[in-house]
Chains A and B, each alone.
Chain A
Amino acid sequence: MIEGVSRYFGSVAAVNKVALTIEDGEFFTLLGPSGCGKTTLLRMIAGFTELDAGRIHIGEKRIDTIPPHRRNIGMVFQNYAIFPNQTVAGNVAYGLKARKVAGPEMARRVGEALALVRLEAYGDRWPHQLSGGQLQRVAIARALVIRPEVLLLDEPLSNLDARLRVDMRGEIRDLQQRLNITTVYVTHDQEEALAVSHRIAVMQAGRIEQLDHPEHIYRKPKNLFVAQFMGTTNVLRGIVGEHQGDLVRVRVGASELSVADPSAREGEPVSLCLRPEALSIVHPGNAGSAGLARLEAMVTKTEFIGPLARLEAELADGSMVRVAVLDDPGTSVVPGSRILLAYDPARITVFRQGSP
């Protein structure tokens, strides 16, 4: 669907030879830090940013040469872009009027679209009488009522408060499933991306770093950037030691860890990535850690946040690891105490050093 698309701002490539195909009915997310090119790519699909190279197709039809007002693509803007001088119904009807839809048909479709976002009773209201979440729904109804071939959402939840954001993303996801509409979603929030998407493209500096299903992106990041962008992770630098069956020993300072990477060569410098929740504390009552590899550490800092306790601990050489454990009234860990950490070698991702 998108072939080798590029866009340069001056000599900087905002989008650098990106190529990807989005399936029919897919919920596809462009994820990355600000300035990574995700919004530029979305605006290229919408037609608001020119392509310097490449082409974009929807199905068989090439769209990058069509002016934006003839593309039939629905777009939801970050700040909703609700027309303040028109009622809720007027906003939703706006695109239908441009398509010269007849009066009764228009009223019916506006009603349907408002019902879809549960705003049936709000047609006569003015935008300034609505809350942020309601404006968001009007924006979605307005984009859907024109029966677009693709729905684009540009960071649609960034102006909402935290609780509403979680509710809204569920709603958007349900709506997309129900209508089975191909959707491209832009966000910088990895949790949001993981929660709603069929597939995610993680972008950096105008390129796609990894394109995969949410679980794979989180558990098997392709490189250090993706690993660190997709939530907290521990990065430990070490030297590959000897092989022991399926496992390889890796020296990290004075400690040794086992990893499941048969291709690692002895003496090779590597970075190890290990999620905090992949570590657990070994104590007599914790049977779940049986059969896992062990690692000694000393607790330096604890933070209790309710369902979880977050720890920072030092390995023998002083390098720091973060640990996240479920709240357990039976154990109390205080700074200064020595603990034994258990981990599954299969959950450690190994990156060759030098590779990004």
Chain B
Amino acid sequence: MIALRVAPLARLQLALGVLAFLFLGLFLLYPLWGVLSASILTPDGAAFTANNYIKVLSRSFYRASVTNTLAIGLLATLTTTMIAVPLAFAIARLDVPGKLLMTGLAALPLVLPSFVGAYALVLLLGRSGVVTQALNSWGIPFGSIYGTPGIVAVYTLTLYPYVLLPTLAGLKAVDISVEEAAQNLGSSPARTFRTVTLPIIIPSVLSGALLVFIETIENFGVPAVLAEDKPILAVEVYKLFIGETATNPSAAAVLGVLLIVLTATVLIIQRRYLARHRFATGARTLSPLVKIGAGCRTLVTGYCWAVVLLALVPFFAIVVLSFMEFRGPVLHARFSLGNYAELFAVAGGPLSNTLMFATLAAGGAALIGVPIGWVLVRTRTGWASLLDIVSTMPFAVAGTVLAIGLVIAFNSGWLVLTGGWLIMLLAYTVRKLPFTVRSSSAILHQIDPSLEEASISLGVSPLRTLIVLIVPLMLGGIVAGMVLTWVTVASELSSTVVLYSGPWRTLTIIMFQALEGTGAGVAVAAASVLIAITLIPMLAAYRLLRRHELSML
């Protein structure tokens, strides 16, 4: 009789919630527990020990990896914010030509793989880079881009949209009447900006900046290319686990736990802050453009276009270079399709692997993420807020760490997945789950729950209502989340590098292996193909993504 007392709608929510918990428990929490227990248990798993932590943290090399990671993260967050906020203000409030195209191009770095950007920087300005050699041949000395400067530069140019887009939205949402009210009360335009406009947009700026910070801490590809001997947390975790010399899983686990603690802390701060400081703004009329002089206008226009285009130069350069002839690592200025021929001759078909993984992961993330999104929006009970927390966690888990957890969890025992494609697909699906969860819950907030009740009262069961009525209404948000999943899985490196095996090499793995020295031509071709396959769905779903991108940040 108890079961009868639970409404069918609530029963469906409960059933979907249980399935979601099972999935996330098995493929997110259990692997993470594996990492944690590897760090706090003795090798035989019999007793707790702090030895692993003491051993790792007593070495200055690993302590430096923590401080380096934090320092680079802070620096990159600062430069990103300093570049993006003026850009947002110029686009929102100043008369800058070509705004529409500019905002479109400015969103591209969000999906272009930062790893490719770092690789391009090496090809152009690295020790044997095209530009470096040209400069050297003219006798102009050029400093090193390896280490902090290069990493921060790449982060700044690839992550600035994380701050730009929310700030732009924030500026556009400021109701002009509050600014008019301030001026009507005797406040000058400058004072109005400082005391009214700025406080309203600061939450948007900060939430974007914190996301940048998380991205920089988690990122594996950029430091893997540019850090060289400088220890960086995400890279050291990988080296300790996979390492060419002696592997040390418990030390890798220690660093992995530290990495998660860092990102989780920042993510919690970001969510708390957003929940408390989001102002309800409802702009009915757009603010008029601020009038500026011709000289000022030229300066601002130059600045805006410089930032937007500079961020795209590395990707453009990669595509150009891919059509030139490489002999080993040496580049010759001669048109050639040889790189592509070589790429498609690689055994296992990295392109088809990448396409397959991206497609399956996008489908899987939607299949799991959409029901979670629905449950989160429609259920107001304790277990739903727990599900909310668990399904947001992948944001805070670096790809390397999740992958190591999956290896620890499914290397032996009742379920062995290592060495196959499924474990890679699971890593992708779990890591990108927040995109579909967030995009579908964002759109569900706009769908009145009484639509579901109307359908049920007309005789359609809850599950059928969800499938035939609600999912079609959510389609825009679902597709936007899937496109973003597809694109980011295609350029995923940090989990892949831990999990891949011979036949399942992806385009990013081809590029990663080229870093060791050989095969630069194949890598550049792979990077170009990657750029193409991330741009095509982006452009195809451009309008859709513009409408939904903010909800997923």
A32 located at the interface, meaning its Cβ lies under 8 Å from any Cβ of chain B in the complex? no
A250 located at the interface, meaning its Cβ lies under 8 Å from any Cβ of chain B in the complex? no
- Distance (whole angstroms) from the CB of A30 to the closest CB of chain B: 17
A81 touches B4 (CB 8 A): no
A132 located at the interface, meaning its Cβ lies under 8 Å from any Cβ of chain B in the complex? no
Q: Which residues of A contact B348 (CB under 8 A)?
A: none
A81 touches B450 (CB 8 A): yes
Q: How far is the CA of A84 from the CA of B7 in the complex (A)?
A: 26
A50 touches B7 (CB 8 A): yes
A99 touches B453 (CB 8 A): no
Q: How far is the CA of A51 from the CA of B8 in the complex (A)?
A: 14
Contact with B along A96-110 (1 / 0, CB 8 A): 001100000000000
Q: Which residues of A contact B459 (CB under 8 A)?
A: 69-70, 72, 95, 98-99, 146
- Distance (whole angstroms) from the CB of A110 to the closest CB of chain B: 13
Contact with B along A104-146 (1 / 0, CB 8 A): 0000000000000000000000000000000000010011001
B454 located at the interface, meaning its Cβ lies under 8 Å from any Cβ of chain A in the complex? yes
Q: Which residues of B contact A200 (CB under 8 A)?
A: none
A241 located at the interface, meaning its Cβ lies under 8 Å from any Cβ of chain B in the complex? no
If A81-B453, A95-B458 touch, does A69 touch B448 (CB 8 Å cutoff)? no
A94 located at the interface, meaning its Cβ lies under 8 Å from any Cβ of chain B in the complex? yes
Q: Which residues of B contact A94 (CB under 8 A)?
A: 455, 458, 460
B458 touches A77 (CB 8 A): no
- Distance (whole angstroms) from the CB of A5 to the closest CB of chain B: 14
B458 touches A98 (CB 8 A): yes
Count of chain B residues with a beta carbon within 8 Å of a chain A beta carbon: 23
Contact with A along B442-477 (1 / 0, CB 8 A): 000000101101111111111001000100110000
Q: Which of A47, A72, A75, A146 contacts B7 (CB 8 A)?
A: A47
Query: Closest A-chain residue to B459, C-beta based?
Result: A98
A84 touches B454 (CB 8 A): no
Q: Which residues of B contact A47 (CB under 8 A)?
A: 7, 456-457
B7 touches A81 (CB 8 A): no
Q: How far is the CA of A51 from the CA of B453 in the complex (A)?
A: 17
A69 touches B457 (CB 8 A): yes
Provide the main secondary structure of the chain A interface.
loop
Count of chain A residues with a beta carbon within 8 Å of a chain B beta carbon: 31
Query: Closest A-chain residue to B4, C-beta based?
Result: A65
Q: How far is the CA of A77 from the CA of B460 in the complex (A)?
A: 17
Q: How far is the CA of A85 from the CA of B474 in the complex (A)?
A: 11
B9 located at the interface, meaning its Cβ lies under 8 Å from any Cβ of chain A in the complex? yes
Q: Which residues of A contact B454 (CB under 8 A)?
A: 75, 77, 81, 83, 139, 142
B451 touches A74 (CB 8 A): no
B8 touches A84 (CB 8 A): no
B59 located at the interface, meaning its Cβ lies under 8 Å from any Cβ of chain A in the complex? no
Query: Closest A-chain residue to B473, C-beta based?
Result: A85
Q: Which residues of A contact B469 (CB under 8 A)?
A: 83, 85
Q: Mind listing 13 A-B residue pairs with CB under 8 Å? A: A47-B456, A50-B5, A65-B4, A68-B453, A69-B460, A74-B457, A75-B454, A77-B453, A85-B472, A94-B458, A94-B460, A95-B458, A143-B457
**Residues of B near any A CB (own CB < 8 A):** 4-9, 448, 450-451, 453-462, 465, 469, 472-473
- Known contacts A47-B456, A68-B8; 17 additional CB pairs below 8 A are A67-B8, A69-B462, A71-B457, A75-B454, A75-B457, A79-B450, A81-B448, A81-B454, A83-B455, A83-B469, A85-B469, A85-B473, A94-B458, A95-B458, A98-B460, A143-B458, A146-B459
**Residues of A near any B CB (own CB < 8 A):** 46-51, 65, 67-75, 77-79, 81, 83-85, 94-95, 98-99, 139, 142-143, 146
The 3 closest A-B pairs by CB, nearest first: A95-B458, A98-B459, A81-B454
